[in-house]
Chain A
Amino acid sequence: MDLTAREFWLLFHLGVSVVYLHAFITVLAEVRLGAQRNRLLAGTAIMALVAWLTVISGTWFVYPGYRAEPPSESAQLQDYPQYYLEEHHNLAYWHEFGMEWKEHVGWLSPILATAVAFIVIRYGPRLVEAGREQRNLRWMLAVLFTVSFLAAAVSGALGAFINIVAPNTFLDLG
């Protein structure tokens, strides 16, 4: 089976987002079960890297297919998801709220994940030392880490719903 370029990039985008989810769960488990330093370092670094790969591939390779303009009035709207959703009043909300929030909130995730990864790598074992300062910093990292994950989760969930609501024939166009 041949993949079009659009199908390839959508699969890449989905694939790295699954790795991101897995890295988040791994890091959370490591923190909960007593962190093994190397796995914690690797987990946060991988999470930051795949967060970047997810938003870059989504924005520059998948999104242009979603928002492409029909070349003429006679063009089939099924091939142009944004216009298809906007044309159907009962579905317009999926673009106006769903896609608008998805395309933006996802960009917060890699920025926050990178800050967390930097601090975990830079401070290393000093982070798990006892003390009020360390405890506060760990708490702040947990908050940033969770916000990063929630931003990605909202973005991913909205993307999944839009994939169900809008026709995906645009992926066949290559």
Chain B
Amino acid sequence: MAPQEDLLGNVAPSRNGEAAAAIVAAGVGCAVFGILVVLVALSTAMETLLTFFAPVGSLSGKAIVTVGVWLISWFALHRAWKDKHLDQRKTFTAAAILVGLGVLGTFPPFYEVLHQILS
């Protein structure tokens, strides 16, 4: 984050790629979880597929898949962006939309209405 000088003494903005990767990956994790919640609410096949541990039901699969996707996306974004300086506004907006999707997906009235519309 501290300004860095190049060989000519020009001050360049420091890199924020690692922070952007962590924030966007967290958004991806939230969005994936929200989408899985909606898919399970709409499809009994998805519910069966995501029931990794019967006593916990499909929540086990939703949680494990989400954590897996979140960590993989974080790793990939971190590698891709760690030496870059990204537009904060774009990364923050993307993360906010993804987190919003995640929150919306977990809200029962949302997927109940969706279920009624689709059925």
Shortest CB–CB separation between residue A132 and chain B, in angstroms?
9
Q: How large is the interface on A (under 10, 10 to 19, 20 to 34, 35 or more residues)?
A: 35 or more
Query: Within 8 Å of chain B (Cβ to Cβ): is A96?
Result: yes
How many residues of chain B are within 8 Å of chain A by beta carbon? Answer: 37
| CB-nearest residue of chain B to A99 | B108
CB–CB A97/B23 < 8 A? no
User: Which of A10-18, A33-41, A59-67 forms contacts with chain B?
Assistant: A59-67
User: Which of A21-29, A73-81, A118-126 forms contacts with chain B?
Assistant: A118-126
Task: State whether A122 and B1 are in contact (beta carbons under 8 Å apart), knowing that A97-B108, A136-B92 are contacts in the complex.
Answer: no
Task: State whether A96 and B22 are in contact (beta carbons under 8 Å apart), knowing that A108-B99, A133-B1, A133-B16 are contacts in the complex.
Answer: no
The residue from A68, A101, A133, A147 contacting B55, defined by CB atoms under 8 A apart: A68
CB–CB A112/B56 < 8 A? no
A126–B15 alpha-carbon span in the complex (Å): 11
CB–CB A115/B26 < 8 A? yes
CB–CB B92/A140 < 8 A? yes
Query: Hey, which chain B residues are within 8 Å of A115, CB to CB?
Result: 22-23, 25-26
List B1-54 residues whose CB lies under 8 Å from chain A.
1-2, 13-14, 16, 18-19, 22-23, 25-26, 29-30, 33, 37, 53
CB–CB B63/A59 < 8 A? yes
Query: Within 8 Å of chain B (Cβ to Cβ): is A2?
Result: no
A96–B108 alpha-carbon span in the complex (Å): 8
Query: Within 8 Å of chain A (Cβ to Cβ): is B107?
Result: yes
Query: Within 8 Å of chain B (Cβ to Cβ): is A105?
Result: yes
A-B contacts, CB under 8 A, total: 100
Query: Hey, which chain A residues are within 8 Å of B22, CB to CB?
Result: 115, 118-119, 122
The residue from B59, B60, B106 contacting A108, defined by CB atoms under 8 A apart: B106
CB–CB A137/B108 < 8 A? no
| CB-nearest residue of chain B to A155 | B106
Shortest CB–CB separation between residue A37 and chain B, in angstroms?
14
CB–CB B19/A119 < 8 A? yes
Residues of B within 8 A of A (CB): 1-2, 13-14, 16, 18-19, 22-23, 25-26, 29-30, 33, 37, 53, 55-57, 59-60, 62-63, 66-67, 70, 88, 92, 95-96, 99, 102-103, 106-109
Please list 23 pairs of residues, one from A and one from B, whose beta carbons are closer than 8 Å in the complex, sorted by A's number.
A59-B56, A59-B59, A64-B56, A97-B108, A107-B33, A107-B62, A107-B106, A111-B29, A112-B26, A112-B99, A114-B26, A119-B19, A119-B23, A122-B18, A122-B19, A123-B18, A123-B19, A126-B1, A133-B14, A137-B19, A140-B23, A144-B99, A147-B99
Other than A60-B60, A122-B19, give 10 A-B pairs with Cβ distance below 8 A.
Answer: A60-B53, A104-B37, A108-B103, A111-B29, A127-B1, A133-B1, A133-B13, A133-B16, A140-B23, A147-B103
